[in-house]
Structure 1
Amino acid sequence: MTDFDVIVLGAGPAGINAALAAAATGLRVAIVDENSAAGGQVYRAPAVVDSSDDSPEAATGNALRAALSNSSVKPYFGYAAWAVTADFQVDAAGSYGPISISSKALIVAAGTTERVVPFEGWTTPGVIGLAAATILLKSQKILPGKTTLVAGCGPLLAAVAAGTLKAGGTVVAIADLAGPLDWGRAMPALLSRPDILRQGVKWALAIRRAGVPLHARHTLVSVSPEGQQLRAVLAPCDSAGRPVAGERISLLADCIAVGHGLTPSTDITRLLRAEHHYYRAAGGWVAKTDANGLTSRERLYVVGDGAGIAGAAAAAHHGAMAGLACALSLAADPSGQLSNTLKITQRQQARAARFGRSMARLMALRPGHVDSITPDTIVCRCEDVTRADIDAACAAGARDVNQLKAWTRCGMGPCQGRTCGDVAAELLAAHHRTARDQVGIFSARTPLRPLSIAALTGTFVYADIPIPKAAPL
């Protein structure tokens, strides 16, 4: 086992900056990520080298990867952490076999999971998440489809639509749950970030020039195969996300890219029994932390969007704050330099978070959005649990999500509820007309990710297996 002062789980903007800040103070730091390179979702490293990509995201991602490469941080890329113990031992598996490392402090920068509120036909091949579409466009340089419908809520709608157009695809329409007033309320936050506002204006102009229809305050209600394409039906909706009376819009596309916001990844902090609370505007359940990301567990930090949706810029500062706070907890600061740097970083994070939280409110789960899920629509894809199965369990007396899990197997599949948990809990709370925090959250269990026996054992032949000598007669 290899020992470090700090282990950082996740190599997005929060994790990278946490590792760099801690390592710069002389601490022994390791960073673990299941991807083959650092960057996370926003600054994902391209699988296909494209020197023509002059986007701000590409430049920032390359700079972060270079800084990490030139630092003393020990990288473990291509390793999925599947177990974390209370004394901060991290077990991970990758293409080079299993590893086991430990540390004095742990910084969790696990990011988020995309939320998709189920609708009729959402499991049909060709229906993908907005996050998956960005991976195809940014990393793989592949169009989601020759023609794509972009639907859901939040700034990713414009990003995916503009990226699809730039790559030579056609966007048949954009369906946004939000209306003009929702975006108007976000305008002061946009004005505080002129760099992001300029990027948004560029996306909007590209979409306008392409003549892409924008259906504000519309929701996707069904998708069905039609020949080699998909038939999507849009309906007008109210501010709570419920479909309302009005003309339905029917569209054909090769791909449906849909996403209804993000939920913080809390499986590690839940596994380590840190205190959590439900905060809808921040994406859902988040660990209770101080300003620097310190949880209720000593020397356990959570940073970035995994601590509440606030955006990539805020995540970078938040990670640096946790790295500095780790250093202050593990070593002396006689000159006060670390404390002063931490105060400056805290102010930078607060400014950046104001914009990110405004965008997060646009992506928050709307209280009536789950109402339109039909009884035979699958909610838990891993275990094929339908809305009707969940309603039956609620009617039979299930009042807690873990009770619901035991009765229906919802959340017992490979994703362990990351895909269905938020929606299933919303349905349960709605049935009993109670607050979301009253129905709880799925308990975390190891392995945190699907794990094969081969990943634990590595490559071997029978000759490698030690055979003990026969016992004496």
Structure 2
Amino acid sequence: MSDRLDLLVIGGGPAGARAALRAGACGLSVLLVDENPDAGGQVWRPLPVTFSRRNDAPLSAEARAGDALRRELRDAGIECRFGHKVWNIGSDLRCDVIGPGGSVSWKPRAILVATGTTERVVPFPGWTLPGVIGLAAATILLKSQNMLPGRRTVVAGSGPLLLAVANGLLKAGGEVAAVVDLASRGEWLGTLPSLLGHPALLLQGIEWQWRLRSARVPVYYRHAIRSVSPQEGGFKVLIGPVDAEGAPAQGGAHAHELHADAVAVGNGLVPGTDVTRLLRANHRFERRLGGWIARSDDDGRTSIPGLYIAGDGAGIAGAAAAGSHGEIAALACALDQGAIDSSSHARERAPLAARWARSARFGNTMAALMALREGSVRGIAPEAVVCRCEDVTRAEIDAAVRDGARDVNQLKAWTRCGMGPCQGRTCGDIAGGLVALQVGSREAAGCFTGRAPLRPVGLSEVAGEYTYADIPIPKAAPL
């Protein structure tokens, strides 16, 4: 790679890959970095290189789209560093990265962050047990490992991933004990207007519903898991009805027992803001877009010069919209660096913006369906673990706020919530919701301050190979 690096793209999903392709086409020198083995992100995740497809196995639409994207990156000659983790970024945009060959750093003129999302799970007693996994993890097992999470699985939570996982389990030969959906039938019917412009998605939804009915899978609308407990051969899953805000329903509503050997649960997605919080970009809270997101203009420019965001990390809009958003941000970067003029920018941007608006309408509707409900947070059991890295319960969080912790960063200092290997990616949204119940708003509760390392890294990886003789020893001060 040449000494000149105009743009470093973090994330090889639809947004990041399309951004790299568009920036390269505009004449920028581009480097795409992703910690996964290849491009595609979560939605277009490829099989591991050691796996091979059966020749007679039909490719899904997602697999075809992912293969096409990876082929396009190769054909365009975009330099990619897969299996590389960005663990630190300085205020001068210097990126420190750990890869198979050790530590390496780049200092690009601009950074485009397309790090996607983290799955949210509203905690309940038993959610940390082995065999209880996220919907996204179940998707990885099905798509990337050709593996079932269990023989008989309860699928629970909210959003379209519920139906996708349940159908994936059935297609792979598994049994779905039940689908436990936080939303009501009416809420699902309310999404139909946004689907009318996407007939393929509408047909897919109909097909999913038909397959569930054919397999006689019970679907519990406006229900949630109350607890999971071990029993011989699997789990006892206690579910119960909830109100429109997600809180356990009152008035004598009875819980119902399910039995399974695996549970897949997910309550929507949270935008990935690790990098933007580390660099102290301005953020705002948008519940319907997933939570905290960096403030940006319509072209992905943040409050930090040279820092751009794209895709679901800028607000949940779905995979279909992410690619267009990535290209829009790449065009803005090319314009800002003088690689294209304003007339070329306007001409190329217009069709991308129109395509993004069509796709984002559906994506935003699904994001609203998956948005965290205050009642769900209020209904978390006191004994439920919220921060699984540091084993901090809801009761301990409530006690800390009553004792004077006024925002999540003070909570973090008092309880260690968010200090584990995940750096709050798993618990941060829920912890913020719990603090907000007592301090009045999510804005008052705040979000965790970004810290390095962004990903867990070993000291040996950072330090490299050296001996004590390599350590510089300063001269002794004069007496």
Residue identity in the other structure for 1:454: S
- Deviation per CA, 1:388-411, whole angstroms, max 9, x where unpaired? 111111111111111111111111
- Partner of 2:107, secondary structure, is strand
Separation of aligned partners in 2, 1:429 and 1:32: 36
Structure 1 range deviating more: 47-56 or 69-78:
47-56
Identify if the C-alpha distance between structure 1 residues 19 and 150 changes in structure 2 by more than 3 Å, giving closer, same or farther: same
Separation of aligned partners in 2, 1:466 and 1:239: 63
Separation of aligned partners in 2, 1:332 and 1:196: 37
Query: In structure 2, what is the equivalent of residue 297 of structure 1?
Result: 304
Query: In structure 2, what is the equivalent of residue 55 of structure 1?
Result: 60
Query: In structure 2, what is the equivalent of residue 249 of structure 1?
Result: 256
Contact 1:379 1:387 in 2 (8 A): yes
Separation of aligned partners in 2, 1:334 and 1:148: 55
Query: In structure 2, what is the equivalent of residue 102 of structure 1?
Result: 107
- Partner of 1:91, secondary structure, is strand
Separation of aligned partners in 2, 1:306 and 1:333: 26
- Partner of 2:76, secondary structure, is coil
Residue identity in the other structure for 2:11: G
Identify if the C-alpha distance between structure 1 residues 214 and 467 changes in structure 2 by more than 3 Å, giving closer, same or farther: closer
Separation of aligned partners in 2, 1:38 and 1:330: 26
Identify if the C-alpha distance between structure 1 residues 132 and 465 changes in structure 2 by more than 3 Å, giving closer, same or farther: farther
Separation of aligned partners in 2, 1:282 and 1:82: 26
Matched, 1:216 2:217: no
- Deviation per CA, 1:84-143, whole angstroms, max 9, x where unpaired? 112211111122211111211110001000000100111111100000000000001100
List, as ranges, runs of 4+ consecutive aligned residues in structure 1 with deviation greater than 4 Å.
464-469
Residue identity in the other structure for 1:282: L
Separation of aligned partners in 2, 1:133 and 1:127: 10
Query: In structure 1, what is the equivalent of residue 420 of structure 2?
Result: 413
Identify if the C-alpha distance between structure 1 residues 70 and 457 changes in structure 2 by more than 3 Å, giving closer, same or farther: farther
Aligned residues: 467
TM-score normalized by the length of structure 2 = 0.94
Contact 2:270 2:291 in 1 (8 A): yes
Map of 1:383-394 to 2, 5 A cutoff? 383-394=390-401
Question: 1:332 deviation in Å?
Answer: 4.8
Residue identity (%): 52
Question: 1:345 deviation in Å?
Answer: 0.7
Matched, 1:191 2:192: no
Structure 1 range deviating more: 129-138 or 41-50:
41-50
Question: 1:467 deviation in Å?
Answer: 8.9
Map of 1:273-288 to 2, 5 A cutoff? 273-288=280-295
Separation of aligned partners in 2, 1:447 and 1:373: 30
Identify if the C-alpha distance between structure 1 residues 467 and 172 changes in structure 2 by more than 3 Å, giving closer, same or farther: closer
Question: 1:447 deviation in Å?
Answer: 0.6
Contact 1:2 1:101 in 2 (8 A): no
TM-score normalized by the length of structure 1 = 0.96
Residue identity in the other structure for 1:99: V
Map of 1:27-66 to 2, 5 A cutoff? 27-47=28-48, 48-50=51-53, 51=55, 52-66=57-71
- Partner of 2:80, secondary structure, is strand
Identify if the C-alpha distance between structure 1 residues 335 and 259 changes in structure 2 by more than 3 Å, giving closer, same or farther: closer
Query: In structure 2, what is the equivalent of residue 237 of structure 1?
Result: 242
Residue identity in the other structure for 1:376: E
Separation of aligned partners in 2, 1:393 and 1:142: 42
Contact 2:26 2:339 in 1 (8 A): no
Residue identity in the other structure for 2:198: R
Contact 2:156 2:225 in 1 (8 A): yes
Separation of aligned partners in 1, 2:283 and 2:417: 21
Contact 1:97 1:457 in 2 (8 A): no
Separation of aligned partners in 2, 1:150 and 1:198: 22
Contact 1:130 1:257 in 2 (8 A): yes
Contact 1:82 1:449 in 2 (8 A): yes
Separation of aligned partners in 1, 2:454 and 2:406: 25
Query: In structure 2, what is the equivalent of residue 20 of structure 1?
Result: 21
Separation of aligned partners in 2, 1:449 and 1:37: 18
Matched, 1:136 2:141: yes
Query: In structure 2, what is the equivalent of residue 437 of structure 1?
Result: 443
Separation of aligned partners in 2, 1:246 and 1:452: 50
- Deviation per CA, 1:237-295, whole angstroms, max 9, x where unpaired? 10111111423111111110000000001010011111100000000000111111111
Query: In structure 2, what is the equivalent of residue 318 of structure 1?
Result: 325
RMSD of aligned alpha carbons: 1.8
Gaps in structure 1 of 5+ consecutive residues: none
Structure 1 range deviating more: 448-457 or 293-302:
448-457
Contact 2:46 2:66 in 1 (8 A): yes
- Deviation per CA, 1:205-256, whole angstroms, max 9, x where unpaired? 2111111100000000000000120110110110111111423111111110
